[in-house]
Amino acid sequence: MNPFLLATSIENWIDSASFWPLSVLPAAVWAAIIHTTLVGLFFGLPAFVFIWAERKVAGRIQDRLGPTRVGGRFGWLQSLADGVKLIQKEDLAPNAADVMLFRLAPYIVVIAAFSAFMFLPFSAGLVAVAMDAGLFIALAVLSLEVLGIVLAGYASGSKWSLFGGMREAAQMVSYEVPLGITVVIPVVVAGTLNLGEIGALQSGGIQNWLIFSSPFTFLAFFVFFTVTLASNKRAPFDLAEAESELVGGFHTEYSGMRWSFFFLAEYASMFFVSALGAILFLGGWWTGFSPLDNWLLSTAQSSVGGDYLLRVFGMKILMVKAAILVFVQIWIRWTLPRLRIDQVMTTCLKYLVPMSCFLFLGAVIWPLVLATTIGQTSIWSPVGDRMPRSRRSGEPEVSSEVEGDETAMNRWNSRDSLVTVGLSTGEAE
């Protein structure tokens, strides 16, 4: 059962129940709690899977087997066993710690990481909160995670934890700049901040993926992936918890379940930025195989239950793409050495920020250059990659010069029908 659909069904049952005496505000609060709980449980499972995957991948890279005892030959239940062990551990707080802030910090981190998923569409209409500015709101919510990390380092009463928190704050402030610029590049190409619409635009084949819309978006994807490694404190940018320098960094003094919250948040953030990268650059929930994408679209429009098939299949495709990017993050961690703090800051300020600004400028100028040289704004389509401004009304804006071009009209109609599917399923307003 999909968590979003289940939460909506429960919410509708609450609204229709005659014995429910709550006013509008308490009912909305309960609906939000239901959504958050179900989505949190849903995304807690991938976090457990990726923790197991990291241990297995690390074992293979280091020429060993990794977990093999719990849950069969491949150790499938190792994460569950670790969770049971952590629950049984004593929850300690140092004498020098600010106890209230010390206990509060892990909850801030994990809530921020899981709350960002509310704005992430997994397929057409499969999103908890559909907003036109969903991309920036999701990144803003995810960035709140650093507040909990800084608070954990400050409240622990340990110099090692404090150094780790300070490093994370400096790293986050610097790398948020190229991250924000690189996510704007596909927004400029797509013409919308709505993640559902950005994903819907990339149907019809791998040539329609935004990563291939120009050389600048192609390079922007790799810059985006690099800065997400830094934002998630992954190697070679894991300075906030450098074991060889700071013992354990900001979570040195934590134990038990509070310690595990930091790692749940880290792996949830890894999955989130990977899914976000797949939506912005890698075709979202579309396979990239044109006949299959067109069949899914026609089935969703013509048959009963076709929209459900599109949602489920699209969600699986997006998760596979995100899982591949998570695997690359794990691979990089166990392959590359850790950078020094001065190297990290130099990489960001001297290379990634200017590079992201150059790529943004190039992505803006690229359609104009093509329009003056070959008469269209994209090398893939006779009418360009830009979505017409009337996409919300469902009527394509096509100039009189190409009204007779049947291929161009079919492309516009296909894109408008994709957005119509999202509109009918609550993807956009």
Give the pLDDT mean for 342-349.
88
Q: How many CB atoms lie within 10 A of CB 23?
A: 7
- Whether 249 is covered by a domain: the verdict is yes
What's residue 405's pLDDT? 37
The yes-or-no verdict on residue 22 having pLDDT over 80 is: no
The yes-or-no verdict on residue 17 having pLDDT over 90 is: no
- Dump pLDDT digits (tens) for 148-174: 999 999 999 888 888 888 888 888 878
Model pTM score: 0.81
Closest CA to 120 of 301, 413, 321, 298: 321
Separation between Cα atoms, residue 11 and residue 181, nearest integer Å: 38
Who has greater pLDDT, 387 or 77? 77
- Whether 321 is covered by a domain: the verdict is yes
How many domains does the chain divide into?
A: 1
- Whether 82 is covered by a domain: the verdict is no
Give the pLDDT mean for 54-59.
91
The yes-or-no verdict on residue 52 having pLDDT over 80 is: yes
- Confirm if 306 and 224 have CB atoms less than 8 A apart: no
- Whether 39 is covered by a domain: the verdict is no
- Whether 161 is covered by a domain: the verdict is yes
* Residue 307: partners with Cβ closer than 8 Å, 6 or more residues away: 124, 125, 300, 421, 424, 425
What residue numbers bound the domain in which 248 lies?
89-385+405-424
């596909």: which residue's tokens? 186
Q: How many CB atoms lie within 10 A of CB 195?
A: 29
Structure tokens at 400: 């009189």
- Confirm if 425 and 127 have CB atoms less than 8 A apart: no
Separation between Cα atoms, residue 111 and residue 106, nearest integer Å: 9
- CB contact burial 403-420 (16+ within 10 A = b; e otherwise): eeeeebbebbebbbbbbb
- Dump pLDDT digits (tens) for 197-218: 999 999 888 989 999 999 999 9
- Whether 397 is covered by a domain: the verdict is no
- Whether 13 is covered by a domain: the verdict is no
Closest CA to 363 of 242, 280, 285, 284: 280
Q: Phi first, then psi: what are they for 21, rounded to 5°?
A: -90, 10
Q: How many CB atoms lie within 10 A of CB 33?
A: 11
- Whether 246 is covered by a domain: the verdict is yes
The yes-or-no verdict on residue 423 having pLDDT over 90 is: no
